[in-house]
Structure 1
């Protein structure tokens, strides 16, 4: 994997997949033009359609356009070739629920009371969720005159009071837990988990294919109206089941996942490629219906891969604050608006998607409501992000992390000793801590990290302590 932050101020546009035709350090005036152009809303399309596609546990190196040599993902590769690929894009959390809360609200998930996973077990925090009082992008975009739909994984509350239809989605087909059997649609506890709006209503089919089919139907139905579509695929989260594998889970029982030798890598490939095929169908439908020139599509993963996936040269996996836990593949696509064959190396995050969508759709954030993300507009238009020394933060369990440009600090509240400091532009695999030679920088970053964590907890939404 050659993607790193060595060129944090550089945006590369390729004439072809095989050769670099231009490597340009974008000067300040080009950035200024891009910023003003985007913030002024000067686009060829008024009220474009917007689609957000999220994979589940897909690693930084799981797509062939991000270096996977084991199997191909031709449709996502084509999406990247026709659009913009982000190399330093991060999820706001290293696991499912937190990242999804951050994506929908444009704010660090700690503010909405979802710093960790919402588990399926009855004796866990299953009763927690994203309260309807939280302001989400589908709610605001719906208010701007859009049709809104969500298909796939919610994972922001099992109770009906947290249902996606209470957060601005007019249509919802999918599941509310962290994962379900791809065929029987039962969650880890043996509870049927396939919904139509606010009611459980099962339908036969492989979840990845069902999500794609509902998305295609939604686009066809709303092709004459501006729409906002959120696709949250289950792939390639466990259980590891390809389209032709048998069901594992049954009603009313907790059934452990058991796999035959060689099943996981084979199923993993099929799961990713089935999702890739579905995304290809969606992009092709947009072209067939002549919607591609007025539809913005953004693809990302909710966190890094676990040990069954690929995170390239990154250290760590899902659930960690090493780069492998939260640096994820991301692609933006919008023919005629986003230049093709481009790569953005600037530090960006899933929290940035909401402000980007709001600017595109003309939706308005309520007065006094603060978003933590920033618009990706300058990058989409072929420029760079305005703050090249941007500061981003993570917290999961006892662990804390901070980025300031190419510098990264890691701290664990449970473990004594010094934090770790890495210069990612020279050490993308986080192997050599520079704390001893850059103590002042590390202490300054640690102070900022502590201040950030204290600030996001001020006024944070309270979750009930008892089921």
Structure 2
């Protein structure tokens, strides 16, 4: 009799915990420009559903990624650790031989001894899923199903067509759509829409909760393939700029579909929804715009590392608020773990913080006094409102972001002591880091070095 009473009490405790755990939906775009959203006052782009999410939650005006390119940025997001600490500084490219370590492409990925966001939430009883782009290694050892996710529908690589391949046997495996592990099947329809459909299906099947959906859109990354149904949209724009506006509209509709599903099932009030992006817009390749910042993807100017950030949690976070202190995607794991009933302080090595006390005003301090970036010999540090940029081929620069968002006015000569102080802090942090796991031969794989000065034109407000 006592045994059955104990079992019943345990079941009741588990059910009570599950009822108090919020569902979590992470909406993550790819290569979007900071200025290309209505909630950032875009003149031309239409993002009504994300604009409404901004009204329902908190807009993070100083939200950063830990890397200026796709793979490293996502490694930081999914591990909660500066990816430079474990040597993930470069993009993992299939079929490219690493010059320094001689690793084949399929051996490049998020190290398997690290737990992921999915692992941490699984341990708290969440059902977890990834929809869309993975880009954390093409080898089976890196597969989402082996990295803390119960379900996967997407592709392992960094980019693919938004339409089904007519001859999948000729497409690289990392570009093929995959359900679960090695169940390859091309989709029907426009991929952004398909990812929304699949996410909604997962939410329906997991509505008893708690669940975590990582919706990793490949929009608005190249190839520039807008949905034909939007062909008449944005007649005032041309070329890539028009295409990226159409693709952004599709992604916004997909986000709206997912949010509407949560509302229809009565789950919205108990769901944390986050929207962000993996790095700054590349501008030259997809026509995105990072106004009011200088810089693009792969640079450490603000346009390369500051990204849109929205978070909604009805009843917990104020609606229509704006939070201005710097936060970073490394903060998402501590935030989700704490919300899910776990203790992020018990997880060794996390570099982020639980955002909620800061967003509610319970903690009025800065979440981060200092943030760091590094890729090869390039580095950057933000300390308060001061920012230092270090280059391999010319003198470092110092900016005050409170007065110079566009990073146009180099203050290194005017504030030599501050310049030296930030240089020392960045160097001390770099002494904690692992050696890069691989270095890509950029000349052979077609990447430009993206000299920062090429992308330092005064920002234009024509977006």
The 5 A counterparts of 1:67-466 are 67-123=41-97, 126-127=105-106, 128-184=108-164, 190-191=172-173, 192-199=175-182, 200-244=184-228, 262-307=238-283, 308-364=287-343, 369-382=348-361, 386-387=365-366, 390-412=369-391, 414-417=392-395, 419-457=396-434, 462=437
Cα deviation code 1:349-400 (max 9, x no counterpart): 0111111111011234595621011111123324565326610000123210
Distance 1:238 1:115 in 2: 22
Cα deviation code 1:93-124 (max 9, x no counterpart): 11100110000110001123321111234446
Match of 1:32 in 2: none
**CA shift for structure 1 position 220:** 0.5
Q: Secondary structure at the match of 1:395?
A: strand
8 Å CA contact retained: 1:332, 1:380: no
Q: Secondary structure at the match of 1:437?
A: coil
8 Å CA contact retained: 1:44, 1:337: no
Q: Residue 364 and residue 100 in structure 1: after superposition, are their counterparts in 2 closer, same or farther (change >3 A)? A: same
Distance 2:289 2:311 in 1: 21
State TM-score, norm by structure 1.
0.82
**CA shift for structure 1 position 65:** 0.7
**CA shift for structure 1 position 449:** 0.4
Q: Secondary structure at the match of 1:435?
A: coil
Q: Residue 231 and residue 187 in structure 1: after superposition, are their counterparts in 2 closer, same or farther (change >3 A)? A: farther
Distance 1:113 1:312 in 2: 31
Stretch moving more, 221-230 or 183-192 = 183-192
**CA shift for structure 1 position 464:** 11
Distance 2:398 2:439 in 1: 36
**CA shift for structure 1 position 44:** 13
Q: Secondary structure at the match of 1:436?
A: coil
8 Å CA contact retained: 1:101, 1:112: no
Stretch moving more, 363-372 or 108-117 = 363-372
**CA shift for structure 1 position 333:** 0.9
Distance 1:221 1:389 in 2: 38
Unaligned regions of 5+ residues in structure 1, if any? 1-42, 246-260
Cα deviation code 1:18-75 (max 9, x no counterpart): xxxxxxxxxxxxxxxxxxxxxxxxx997111111111001111010111211121000
Paired residues, number: 405
8 Å CA contact retained: 2:358, 2:367: no
| Aligned-CA RMSD value | 2.5
